[in-house]
Amino acid sequence: MSMDQIVLENDERLDDLEYKGLKIIQKPYLYCFSSDAVLLANLVRATSKDTIVDFGCGSGVITILALAKTNAKNAIGFEIQEKMANLAKKNAEINNLQKKIEIINDDIKNASKHLGKESVKVVVCNPPYFKSTSGEVSNISEVALSRTESTATLVDIVKSAAEILKYSGKFYMIHKSERLAEVLTCLSNNKLEPKKLTMIYPKASKAVDTFIVEAQKNGAPGLTIDSVIVYEEDGTMTPWAKKLYNKE
C-alpha cells in the first residue's frame, strides 16, 4: 500500500518510524508506544529461519521494527485488546507486511495453543510495568491494560514465553529497574537463563530507569552487563541513540 492510499479515521494519526520508510498509525486516546519499544526492538536478534513472537504487541511497533531490523522470516503478534489488535493488523497492511506479520487477538497465556509448545526461537515483550495494586492507573481501560498487570502478570508472560520457545531460544524483555531482581528470578525459575543485561540511563546524571534482558532457554549460567545512555545533558541524543534511531 502506498502512503497516499492510507485512509485515517478521525481518531487516528500517522507517525514516521524513521526507518526504511515505515509508518505507524496510532490512536492518541489509546496506549501509544514510547522510546522503550524502539530500544527493545533494536536489540532483538533473529535469523532468516526465525519467527519473532511479540507478546502484547499493541499497535504493532515492536513487531514491525524487529522484523524490519532483523533477517527474521516472519513475525506474530499477540494482543488481547481487540481495538489494538485491529490497529496492529492495519499497520502491517500499510507497510505491506501483511504476508509476513500475523496478529492474534488473544491472551498471551494461550500462545502455546496457537503455536504449539517449543515452536519458535525468538520471543519479545514490552510488558505492563506495574502490578495491578501499584502504579498510577489510567481511567481509560485500554491504557490501564497496557500499563498494569491486570490480564497477565510477569509470571504469566515468562511462563508463556518458556512454553513456546525451543531449546536455546531467546527471550527479550524491557522492564523497570526497580523490578530487576524479580524479573531475573522469574526467568531463572522458568529455565530462561539471563545472558545479557542492558541498563538504560535516560542521561548520565540520572539513575537507571529501565533495563533490557536477553535470556536463553536452558542456557548455561553466565551474565554480561552493559549500560547505555540515551540523551546528553542538553537533551540531544547520544551517538549510541542516534545510531539506534538511524539518525546518523
Mean pLDDT calculated for residue range 148-167: 91
Q: How far apart are CA 229 and CA 158, in angstroms?
A: 27
pLDDT, tens digit, 9 for 90 and up, residues 105-116: 999 999 999 999
Alpha-carbon distances, residue 91 vs 25, 185, 191, 220, 227 (angstroms): 6, 35, 34, 38, 32
The answer, yes or no, to whether residue 149 has pLDDT greater than 80, is no
Q: How far apart are CA 133 and CA 53, in angstroms?
A: 28
Least confident of 23-27, 55-59, 131-135, 241-245: 131-135
Residue with the bigger pLDDT between 236 and 11: it is: 236
Alpha-carbon distances, residue 188 vs 153, 171, 176, 181 (angstroms): 16, 12, 18, 11
CATH of 3-244 given 3.40.50.720, 3.40.50.300, 3.50.30.20, 3.40.50.150: 3.40.50.150
Predicted confidence at residue 103, as pLDDT, reads: 98
Helix H or strand E encompassing 40: helix 35-43
CB 108 within 8 A of CB 80: yes
Give the pLDDT band of residue 198 (cuts 50, 70, 90). Answer: very high
Mean pLDDT calculated for residue range 9-34: 88
Domain ranges of the chain: 3-244
- The mean pLDDT of the chain is 90
* pTM exceeding 0.75: yes
Look-up of cell digits 497465556: 109
CB 141 within 8 A of CB 188: no
Mean pLDDT calculated for residue range 73-102: 96
